Amino acid sequence: MRFTLKKALLLILPLTFFMQSCWIYSFSGASIPANMKTFSVSFFENTAPLVVPYLSQQFTEALKERVRNQSGLSMVRENADGTFEGRITDYSIKPVAVTADERAGLSRLTITVNVKFTNTVDNEYSFEQSFTRYTDFDIQARSLQQQEPEMIRLVTQMLTEDIFNRAFANW
């Protein structure tokens, strides 16, 4: 049996129209309803016992950027089709490995965020969930003050990816 361009088009075109009729699929793996056009992100207040002054702003902006860059949705202040809100509930730095001289060999920076996502287009995909991510670092290599901004950026990147996937890739 010979495979021709005409046969290929007859197979591909109906499938393409079917997939585009209800959902938009992006190369990021997101499945966003076709009628979802906007999103908003409220400020994530830091209510953790240990507060880093810039963490709330950095996390909120990182989540906005992640959704804007990977979804194609427009960001609005209110009346959005999808709304993210929540708070930072935990920020901690704890030793996870001890050296022979009883000093911290590795430390772990952990951030937990409680997120409520409201999907007004399809409420079935709304959720409220806590997300926790961490990274380990060597405190002996450089001081905490030198490493902390980069560690926060890495953990924030992982958290926003998890939140985006939960909201739009249904993971």
| Residue 13 domain-assigned (yes or no) | no
Sign of CA dihedral 48, 49, 50, 52: positive
Residue with tokens 């959005």: 80
| Residue 121 domain-assigned (yes or no) | yes
| Residue 64 domain-assigned (yes or no) | yes
pTM, 2 dp: 0.79
Domain containing residue 75: 36-168
| Residue 45 domain-assigned (yes or no) | yes
Q: How confident is the prediction for the chain on average, in pLDDT?
A: 84
| Residue 77 domain-assigned (yes or no) | yes
Candidates 98, 102, 104, 90; CA nearest to 155 is 90
For residue 107, give the CATH number of its domain.
Answer: 3.30.160.150
| Residue 20 domain-assigned (yes or no) | no
Tens digits of residue pLDDT in 94-123 = 988 776 666 667 889 999 999 999 999 999
Tens digits of residue pLDDT in 9-47 = 455 544 444 444 444 444 445 678 789 999 999 999 999
Q: Is 127 exposed, middle or buried (0-12, 13-18, 19+ CB in 10 A)?
A: middle
Q: How many domains does the chain have?
A: 1
| Residue 17 domain-assigned (yes or no) | no
